[in-house]
Chain A
């Protein structure tokens, strides 16, 4: 993606913004997927293997997103945007880790994971709106 942007004549800043926007979009989508899966778990509509698969897949995506953000070379405003996206991704990763720990210890029944679901939903909103904002700049 980066190579395509560079070849098409975009500046390094444009390429960095594009990568930030893309990563924010992907990690926002992953966080919202996690919130949806947890919502379905609360309502007892999702099987355990599907929930496990969803959470481990999303953890991996967030990890890849964080790795991709740390590889973006940025200065000034772009660096601040990158740091804010990275912080949000790290928060989502921490929440997922605690959810996975709760579930593996049998502490995630009923609405007990509702606070985590709401926090993931809020992080997803933040990441998706940041993605749009960055892509408009």
Chain B
């Protein structure tokens, strides 16, 4: 019974923790501008993150060491430095977006300008990381994030024409559509980047060490990933579907978080709106915790510093210092007056650019029997790993030209 509860908790946390500000914003933008024609990207992205998350969890459980420690040892300092540079900068950008997301969500709950909430949000993130146990932190935000299921409920409450919605999934953008093919592909890359954000993999593998996973725990972790992430992907599609049903016919192109919530008001009124705002806060706060920790993990693991929440902060001072500095830099960027939603859109596109540097080393390490022993990648995993690496490479190469051609999707 205890085992079943642990599995259920893991799956529910994975679902609730899957979405972050990037998923909330980009899915809603895409739904309001392209309908459901880009759902296939979410499906591809979710399969990709499942392949690499379970691979990095397996690396951690088999070797007892975190991703960056092994990458540096296996691939040498130069390759590891390229990986570190890209991952750390993307983490910083993602962290900025998540803090902005918390502030925007709190504005929806209080009417208070997000600028005032940003330092408060960053301080709260630091306090939780400093004081709260890893498992409590992960489970509480993950479970509260489940309130975003409201988007799936709202799709039914809006009584859409299911045939029309279904047909859109199979459609490509119409040549008569107001959106250009380049903009369509720009948002395809952004959606892919939002689904495969690198911090998720670092957090997953370092979390495995924090929770002292052993090879016997792999079945549960695989279940969490293979059930939890796809159901999280369903929520992403529900967000896009809500925007498609309510906003697309009115010609409203989403560029603010409140617009993501308007279809919920239409479908479920004030109660639905309150539930979804709670979900926004939980999802962005949970993601901010994960990204902040990932910033500390990547740098500490690369330089061989003591790291981890299982150590007292005084015993992992540099790990905690990196997180504090990252939070201060994130707030500093937001205080310049940049729009958090624009930061989010840019961060998911830049994530796509850095993806090969994150995922190639994991694939190499997962194939090395010296670290993996019997748990080395099988043929099927390698096949999927290589296919996704090719997709990641294409998305990475296309991201910057598409960003320039489309004026960042405008």
Q: Is the CB of A33 within 8 A of B259?
A: yes
CB distance from B221 to the nearest CB of A (A): 38
* Option from A22, A32, A45, A53 in Cβ contact (under 8 Å) with B251: A32
Digit string of A38-64 for contact with B (CB within 8 Å is 1, else 0)?
A: 001001111111101110010001000
Closest Cβ–Cβ distance, residue A16 to chain B (whole Å): 15
Closest to A4 in B: B407
Judge if B178 is at the interface, Cβ distance under 8 Å: yes
A32 to B253, CA, bound (A): 10
Given contacts A45-B266, A49-B107, A49-B109, contact A4 B251 (CB under 8 A): no
Complex Cα distance, B407 from A33, in Å, reads: 23
Is B165 among interface residues, defined by CB-CB distance under 8 A? Answer: no
Q: Which of B233-257 contact A (CB under 8 A)?
A: 246, 250-253, 255-256
Chain B residue, CB-CB nearest to A49:
B111
Assess whether B404 is in contact with A45, with CB atoms less than 8 Å apart. no
- Known A-B contacts A49-B111, A53-B111; A32 and B270 likewise in contact (beta carbons under 8 Å): no
Q: Answer whether residue B110 sits at the interface, using C-beta atoms and an 8 A cutoff.
A: yes
Query: Could you tell me the distance in whole angstroms from the C-beta of B110 to the nearest C-beta in chain A?
Result: 6
Looking at chain B's contact residues, is the secondary structure mostly helix, strand, loop, or mixed?
helix
Return chain A residues, CB-CB under 8 Å to B250.
32, 36
Within 8 Å of chain A (Cβ to Cβ): is B332?
Answer: no
B274 at the interface (CB under 8 A from A): yes
Is A132 interfacial (CB-CB < 8 Å)?
Answer: yes
A37 to B253, CA, bound (A): 14
| Bound: A49/B258 CA distance, A | 10
Q: Are A54 and B273 in contact (CB under 8 A)?
A: no
Docked-complex contact B270 and A37, CB < 8 angstroms: no
Q: Which residues does chain A contribute within 8 Å of B178, judged by CB atoms?
A: 25, 132, 135
Does A124 interact with chain B (Cβ within 8 Å)? yes
Least CB distance, A89 to chain B, in whole angstroms? 16
A45 contacts B269, C-beta separation under 8 Å: yes
Which residues of B (264-309) have their CB < 8 Å from a CB of A?
265-266, 269-270, 273-274, 277
Q: Which of A28, A29, A37, A124 has the most CB of B within 10 A?
A: A29
- Report whether A49 and B110 are in contact in the complex, using a CB–CB cutoff of 8 Å: yes
Please determine whether A47 and B273 come into contact, CB atoms closer than 8 angstroms: yes
In the assembled complex, which residues on chain A have CB atoms less than 8 Å from the CB atom of B265? 40, 45-46, 50
Given contacts A1-B410, A36-B262, A132-B178, contact A50 B251 (CB under 8 A): no
**Chain A minimum-CB-distance residue to B32:** A29
Decide: B110 and A47 in contact? CB cutoff 8 A: no
Partner of A46, one of B252, B255, B273, B404: B273
A128 at the interface (CB under 8 A from B): yes
Complex contacts, A26 vs chain B, CB 8 Å: 253, 255
- Least CB distance from B280 to A in Å reads 11
Using A4-B407, A37-B262 as known contacts, say yes or no to A124 and B251 having CB atoms under 8 A apart: yes
CB-based contact B270/A46 at 8 Å: yes
Residues of A within 8 A of B405 (CB): 4
Q: Identify the closest chain B residue to A50 (Cβ).
A: B108
- Contact partners of A57 in chain B: CB under 8 A: 256, 258
Q: How far is the CA of A132 from the CA of B111 in the complex (A)?
A: 34
Contact: A44 with B270, CB < 8 Å?
yes
Q: Which residues of A contact B255 (CB under 8 A)?
A: 26, 61
Q: In the complex, A6 Cα to B312 Cα: how many Å?
A: 57
> Which of B111, B252, B269 is in CB contact (< 8 Å) with A48?
B111
Contact in complex: B266, A50 (CB < 8 Å): no
Q: What residues of chain B lie closer than 8 Å to A47, measured between beta carbons?
A: 270, 273-274
Nearest CB in chain B to that of A8: its residue: B405
- From residue 45 to 92 of chain A, which have CB atoms closer than 8 A to chain B? 45-50, 52-54, 57, 61
CA distance A124 to B249 in the complex (A): 13
Q: A32-B252, A49-B111 are in contact. Are A40 and B262 (CB under 8 A)?
A: yes
Cα of A45 to Cα of B265 in the assembled complex, Å: 6
Give the complex CA separation of A48 and B262 in angstroms.
13
Q: How far is the CB of A50 from chain B (nearest CB, A)?
A: 5
Chain A residue at minimal CB-CB distance from B273:
A47
B410 to chain A: which residues have CB within 8 Å?
Answer: 1, 22
Bound-state CA distance A81–B250 (Å) is 23
B261 within 8 A of A: yes
Give CA–CA (A4, B407) in the complex, Å. Answer: 7
Q: How far, in whole Å, are A1 and B250 apart by their CA atoms in the complex?
A: 25
Closest A residue to B267 using CB positions: A45
**16 more CB-based (< 8 A) A-B contacts, given A1-B410, A49-B108, A50-B108:** A1-B407, A25-B178, A33-B252, A36-B250, A36-B262, A40-B265, A46-B262, A47-B270, A47-B274, A49-B107, A49-B111, A50-B273, A52-B111, A53-B111, A54-B258, A57-B258
What are 5 A-B pairs with beta-carbon distances under 8 A? A40-B262, A45-B266, A49-B107, A50-B108, A57-B258
